[in-house]
């Protein structure tokens, strides 16, 4: 057992921790040294998005002490930032995960004990509702307790700023600094005055839903095709609180539920992982849709900020779209309707992330709408919206990891708005005599067929972090010259914020504010390979994008098969194939 681990564990046995916590630490010391090491080998980092990790005792685990210490650091920073305000306010939401309500209450009490007014939702709510509440209530910050789509062992703590977006520089690093100053529970004010804790109820729900419904672009299509059969599942999460009601109010009368998954349960009993990116997570919903003869299937993740969409292909079988495909469909639909309705004035824009399909940019170019390219993470999309507020109009934006949003009243991914927009789009397509799959093929024929895939390598624990660092170092120090026989023409290194022209060696600056540990290779056949360590999971992600012309819809299967074969060759070439 490492000496540092033993010292940290001993400190928890003798410090200001409750009896149950001390007993759990002692049990690990006696019976499970490996887990003890994982629990204590480092302090859980309050990263740029907050906390996320496995629940349990220890400095590297999500528990009431790490949550309390993070909240004390946040409180200290808020009081530094807003000394002139007579009252600092923070909104708090939580999802269905085990301990989420407990961690939310601890957060509220610590804030209240520091003289900060804490507004906590009366029951679990989607993350986008928290973002909305921050702005609606005039709060200086917000906190949502969630680990998004991670397995049941995880929980997390995401911090928001007064614009309703997750914290960005300089606030993220400044909060991190304040949290690092809290070295033990004795520095945390845990006992808050109840008079400083207020409940957020249905009134905020109503305001939020009214904003969601105000985005409608095709009311006549919904009126004509509101009987579309839509299967929706919240995957045991918070989407059940608002998404079915939003769809009903929008005019959809045939919402088919999956009762077993309507049950909010942090153990996620019907799925291995509550991740709408995983086809297995949608199996029950797709089975239900097949039996019921439904048209589309939608699934939201536990905190209802991301959406998985399954549609019928030309053979009538359900297929789960990837996040790029859903983003492309929504972008093409929304921009077309904005043009048809005369809403485009030349000041509008959309946003995507650097690993999200460039087909979104092609579509935006067609409509004369600017497309911003930002780092992964919706907080970076929200930062552009904040910078342009009052001068330009944000239409929509998304990232490949199944996140999308429309409009400016929520500054994060929004499954409630996205589900409503998808349903409306399906109704519009029906009015055109098409399915969503027909729409997707039309886009590929018109703009080019872009196909993407993702391979994520999981590297857990202390050794895993070192392995991820070594992989990134290797690809930087020995850059690829070719990919599947095509010459690498440009390298984008976001750590140095430089684009390197391989032929000339010329370097140009990438116009982003902060460096990030991302590396991209672009070839002369328009293949793009991106490497990015995850900021929320013990993974390194490899993103592949290839492009080709699609002469006609009938060529889709043939071209798709060629692209899939290309993906396999690239993965094998990089040494990450199955």
**Residues carrying an active site annotation:** 148
Mapped to the 3 state alphabet, what secondary structure does 35-80 carry?
A: HHHHHHCCCCCCECCEEEEEECCCCCCECHHHHHHHHHHHHHHHHH
Q: How far is CA 266 from CA 100, 105, 149, 151, 249, in A?
A: 9, 17, 11, 9, 28
CA distance 545 to 81: 43
Tokens representing residue 425 in the block: 């789009």
Q: How far is CA 384 from CA 197, 361, 379, 397, in A?
A: 32, 16, 9, 11
**Given CA atoms 372, 386, 49, 131 in this order, what sign does their dihedral have?**
negative
CA distance 324 to 128: 21
Residues 6+ apart with CB under 8 A from 213: 246, 249, 250, 420
Asked whether 221 and 428 are in contact (CB, 8 A), the reply is yes
CA distance 96 to 93: 11
Please name the helix (run of DSSP H) or strand (run of DSSP E) that holds residue 118, with its range, or none. Answer: strand 117-121
DSSP code per residue over 191-225: ---GGGEEEE-HHHHHHHHHHHHTT-S-HHHHHHH
What is the four-CA torsion angle of 567, 570, 572, 577, rounded to 10 degrees? -50
CA distance 34 to 127: 34
Angle value at C-alpha 137, between 181 and 163, nearest 5 degrees: 60
**DSSP code for 256:** E
Q: What share of the chain is helix, strand, coil (3-state, %, to 5)?
A: 40, 20, 35
CA distance 398 to 379: 11
- For β-strands 393-399 and 449-458, DSSP reports them as unpaired
Q: How buried is 56 (Cβ within 10 angstroms: 0-12 exposed, 13-18 middle, 19+ buried)?
A: middle
Residue 575: how many other CB atoms lie within 10 Å: 7
Which three-class secondary structure state does DSSP give residue 179? helix
Please name the helix (run of DSSP H) or strand (run of DSSP E) that holds residue 261, with its range, or none. Answer: helix 259-262
CA distance 213 to 199: 25
Per residue in 458-474, is it b (16+ CB within 10 Å) or e — as a string? Answer: ebeeeeeeeebeebbee
Which three-class secondary structure state does DSSP give residue 441? helix
């Amino acid at each position: 057992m490492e000496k540092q681990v033993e010292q940290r564990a001993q400190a928890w046995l003798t410090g200001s921790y409750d009896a149950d916590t001390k007993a759990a630490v002692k049990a690990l010391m006696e019976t499970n040294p490996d887990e003890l090491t994982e629990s204590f080998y480092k302090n859980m980092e309050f990263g740029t998005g907050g906390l996320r990790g496995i629940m349990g005792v220890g400095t590297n685990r999500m528990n009431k002490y790490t949550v309390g210490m993070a909240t004390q650091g946040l409180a200290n920073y808020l009081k530094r930032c807003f000394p002139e305000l007579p009252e600092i306010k923070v909104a708090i939401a939580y999802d269905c995960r085990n301990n989420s309500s407990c961690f939310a209450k601890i957060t509220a009490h610590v804030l209240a004990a520091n003289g900060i007014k804490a507004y906590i939702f009366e029951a679990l709510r989607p993350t986008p509702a928290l973002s909305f509440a921050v702005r609606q209530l005039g709060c200086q910050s917000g906190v949502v307790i969630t680990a998004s789509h991670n397995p049941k062992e995880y929980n997390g703590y995401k911090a928001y700023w007064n614009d309703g977006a997750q914290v960005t520089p300089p606030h993220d690093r400044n909060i991190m600094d304040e949290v690092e100053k809290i070295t033990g529970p004795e520095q945390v004010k845990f006992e808050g005055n109840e008079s400083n804790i207020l409940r957020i109820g249905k009134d905020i729900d109503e305001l939020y839903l009214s904003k969601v419904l105000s985005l409608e672009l095709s009311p006549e299509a919904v009126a004509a095709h509101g009987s579309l059969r839509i299967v929706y599942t919240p995957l045991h999460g918070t989407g059940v609180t608002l998404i079915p009601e939003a769809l009903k109010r929008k005019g959809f009368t045939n919402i088919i539920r999956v009762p077993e998954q309507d049950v909010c349960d942090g153990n996620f009993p019907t799925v291995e992982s509550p991740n709408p990116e995983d086809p297995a997570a949608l199996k029950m919903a797709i089975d239900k849709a097949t039996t019921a003869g439904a048209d589309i299937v939608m699934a939201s993740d536990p905190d209802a900020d991301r959406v998985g969409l399954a549609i019928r292909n030309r053979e009538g079988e359900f297929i789960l779209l990837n996040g790029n495909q859903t983003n492309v469909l929504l972008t093409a639909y929304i921009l077309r309707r904005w043009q048809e309705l005369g809403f485009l004035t030349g000041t509008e824009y959309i946003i995507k992330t650097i690993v999200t399909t460039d087909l979104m940019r092609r579509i935006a170019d067609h409509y004369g709408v600017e497309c911003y390219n930002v780092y992964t993470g919706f907080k970076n999309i929200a930062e552009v919206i904040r910078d342009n507020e009052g001068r330009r109009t944000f239409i929509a934006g998304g990232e490949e990891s199944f996140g999308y949003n429309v409009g400016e009243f929520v500054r994060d991914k929004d499954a409630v708005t996205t589900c409503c927009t998808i349903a409306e789009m399906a109704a519009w397509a029906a009015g055109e005599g098409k399915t969503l799959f027909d729409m997707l093929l039309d886009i590929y024929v018109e703009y080019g067929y872009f196909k993407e895939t993702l391979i994520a390598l999981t590297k857990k624990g202390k050794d895993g972090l070192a392995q991820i660092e070594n992989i990134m170092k290797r690809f930087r120090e020995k850059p690829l010259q070719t990919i599947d026989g095509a010459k690498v023409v440009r390298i984008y290194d976001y750590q140095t914020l430089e684009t390197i022209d391989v032929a000339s060696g010329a370097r140009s600056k990438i116009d982003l504010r902060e460096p990030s540990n991302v590396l991209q290779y672009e070839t002369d056949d328009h293949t793009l390979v991106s490497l990015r360590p995850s900021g929320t999971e013990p993974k390194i992600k490899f993103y592949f994008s290839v492009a080709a012309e699609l002469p006609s819809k009938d060529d889709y299967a043939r071209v798709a098969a060629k692209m899939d074969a290309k993906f396999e060759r690239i993965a094998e070439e990089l040494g990450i194939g199955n």
